[in-house]
């Protein structure tokens, strides 16, 4: 097992990464959080796969965990579902010392995190991420949220977990598209912060995609360490954390203009290529690096070309999301592989041209 620390003073925590960790959560809970009850929030698919391993470990430590089941799907990240969970916790007489264990991907983590943050003004949260995206991204940094109306993550609060346990043996059951989805964020970390990491992903992509546990552990540790370091410097998203939005300006617009048919990681992949093309047209990002980035994304099973969408909707979503001022828009652009910068003055017309020309350079 490897440990990445998130150093946030009293709100700091460990991210434990490795194999066969779910069964040890009960013992770690006993060490860390004296309590007699625990609540598990999960969905039926994940419970069927990994619930028993977790529950056996909790039973051994004398916990009688209450299982609160949420149906599958992003639609469950809602105030309605949160209200049902509050009801379940009341019925079980959960109190301020009762830890909430979120077993699942980012949907379960964001929802259970929101409930843990708000029920009785905050219970300890233990995140047990079971998707690659959740292990490298959503479980780190304390953002919790539910969606509201058409707006994703509209209602939320910062609530750092007490512990994150990423058991890589949960990953082989993921559908390939979910692996690609997580890889988009992994590749994002390498482009914003770490060129040798980018080469490591290039060299080991086949092993990652076939769940080689040594390689997987390494890429999750390095990704988590990059996100943790950024979160430590900017816990509440006031500055540096912005660079994590590389690929997300256009990515979010594509997601929403496709009515979320295009998944987040796919949209971010397209958005990273768009940002790289914009930077290349501004004379900054080299054509050779652009080709390298596209090649790696394609090999990771991700799209690089802009899909056929109502371009007016994409543009509107970008205008709405990012507040275009005087025809200029803020972008996180790559300078080279491993370095990004915040560009406040990208011409909106250039961004649209890149999209309309389907991310082709030249």
Ligand X SMILES: NC(=O)c1ccc[n+]([C@@H]2O[C@H](COP(=O)([O-])OP(=O)(O)OC[C@H]3O[C@@H](n4cnc5c(N)ncnc54)[C@H](O)[C@@H]3O)[C@@H](O)[C@H]2O)c1
Burial class (CB in 10 A: 0-12, 13-18, 19+), 88: middle
Q: Of the two residues 229 and 284, which places its CB atom closer to ligand X in the complex?
A: 229
Q: Of the two residues 49 and 342, which places its CB atom closer to ligand X in the complex?
A: 49
Q: Using the rule CB under 6 A, is 49 a contact of ligand X? A: yes
State the minimum distance, in angstroms, from the CB of residue 195 to ligand X: 24
> Can you tell me which of 45, 169, 240, 299 binds ligand X, judged by CB under 6 A?
45
Residues 231-260 binding ligand X (CB under 6 A) are none
> Can you tell me which of 26, 65, 106, 301 binds ligand X, judged by CB under 6 A?
106
Q: Using the rule CB under 6 A, is 213 a contact of ligand X? A: no
Stretch that binds ligand X, among 32-40, 100-108, 252-260, 293-301 (CB under 6 A): 100-108
Q: Of the two residues 133 and 270, which places its CB atom closer to ligand X in the complex?
A: 133
> Can you tell me which of 78, 118, 153, 336 binds ligand X, judged by CB under 6 A?
153
Q: HEC states along the chain?
A: CEEEEECCHHHCEEEEEECCCHHHHHHHHHHHCCCCCCEEEECHHHHHHHHHHHHHHHHHCCCCCEEEECCCCHHHCCHHHHHHHHHHHHHCCCCCCCCEEEEECHHHHHHHHHHHHHHHHCCCEEEEECCHHHHHHHCCCCEEEEEECCEEEEEEEECCCCEEEEEHHHHHHCCHHHHHHHHHHHHHHHHHHCHHHHHHHHHHHHHHHCCCHHHHHHHHHHHHHHHHHHHHHCCCCCCHHHHHHCCHHHHHHHHHHCCCCCCHHHHHHHHHHHHHHHHHHCCCCCHHHHHHHHHHHHHCCCCCCCCCCCHHHHHHHHHHHHCCECCEEEEEEEEECCEEEEEEEEEHHHHHHHHHCCCCCC
Q: Which residue is nearest to ligand X (CB)?
A: 106
State the minimum distance, in angstroms, from the CB of residue 140 to ligand X: 7
Q: Using the rule CB under 6 A, is 8 a contact of ligand X? A: no
Stretch that binds ligand X, among 106-114, 218-226, 276-284, 302-310 (CB under 6 A): 106-114
Stretch that binds ligand X, among 133-141, 290-298, 307-315, 349-357 (CB under 6 A): 133-141
Q: Using the rule CB under 6 A, is 159 a contact of ligand X? A: no
CB under 8 Å to 177, separation ≥6 — which residues? 263, 301
Q: Using the rule CB under 6 A, is 130 a contact of ligand X? A: yes
Residues 301-330 binding ligand X (CB under 6 A) are none
Q: Of the two residues 61 and 78, which places its CB atom closer to ligand X in the complex?
A: 78
> Can you tell me which of 4, 58, 65, 110 binds ligand X, judged by CB under 6 A?
110
Q: Using the rule CB under 6 A, is 347 a contact of ligand X? A: no
Contact footprint for ligand X (CB under 6 A): 43, 45-46, 49, 72, 74, 77, 104-108, 110, 130-131, 133-134, 137-138, 141, 143, 152-153, 170, 173-174, 178, 181
């Amino acid at each position: 097992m490897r440990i990445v620390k998130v150093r946030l003073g009293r709100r700091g925590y460990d991210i434990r990464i490795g194999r066969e960790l779910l069964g040890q959560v009960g013992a770690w809970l006993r060490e860390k959080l004296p309590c007699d009850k625990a609540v598990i929030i999960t969905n039926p698919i994940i419970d069927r796969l990994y619930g028993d391993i977790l529950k056996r470990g909790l039973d051994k430590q004398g916990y009688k965990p209450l299982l609160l089941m949420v149906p599958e799907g992003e639609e469950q990240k809602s105030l309605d579902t949160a209200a049902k969970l509050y009801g379940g916790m009341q019925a079980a007489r959960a109190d301020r010392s009762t830890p909430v264990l979120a077993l699942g991907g980012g949907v379960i983590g964001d929802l259970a995190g929101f409930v843990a943050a708000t029920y009785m003004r905050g219970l300890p949260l233990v995140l047990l991420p079971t998707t690659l995206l959740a292990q490298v991204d959503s479980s780190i940094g304390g953002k919790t949220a539910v969606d509201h109306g058409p707006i994703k993550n509209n209602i939320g609060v910062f609530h750092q977990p007490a512990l994150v346990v990423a058991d890589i043996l949960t990953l082989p059951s993921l559908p390939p598209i979910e692996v690609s989805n997580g890889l988009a964020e992994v590749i994002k970390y390498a482009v914003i912060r770490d060129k040798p990491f980018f080469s490591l992903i290039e060299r080991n992509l086949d092993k990652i995609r076939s769940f080689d546990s040594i390689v997987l552990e390494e890429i999750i540790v390095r990704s988590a360490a990059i996100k943790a370091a950024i979160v430590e410097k900017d816990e509440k998203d006031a500055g540096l954390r912005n660079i994590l939005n590389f690929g997300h300006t256009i990515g979010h617009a594509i997601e929403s203009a496709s009515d979320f048919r295009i998944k987040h990681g796919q949209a971010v992949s397209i958005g990273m290529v768009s940002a790289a093309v914009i930077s290349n047209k501004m004379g900054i990002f080299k054509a050779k690096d652009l080709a390298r980035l596209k090649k790696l994304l394609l090999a990771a099973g991700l799209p690089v070309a802009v899909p056929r969408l109502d371009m007016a909707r994409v543009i509107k979503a970008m205008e709405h999301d990012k507040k275009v001022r005087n025809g200029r828009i803020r972008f996180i652009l790559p300078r080279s592989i491993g370095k990004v910068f915040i560009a406040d003055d990208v011409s909106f017309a250039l961004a649209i041209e890149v999209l309309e020309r389907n991310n082709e350079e030249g």
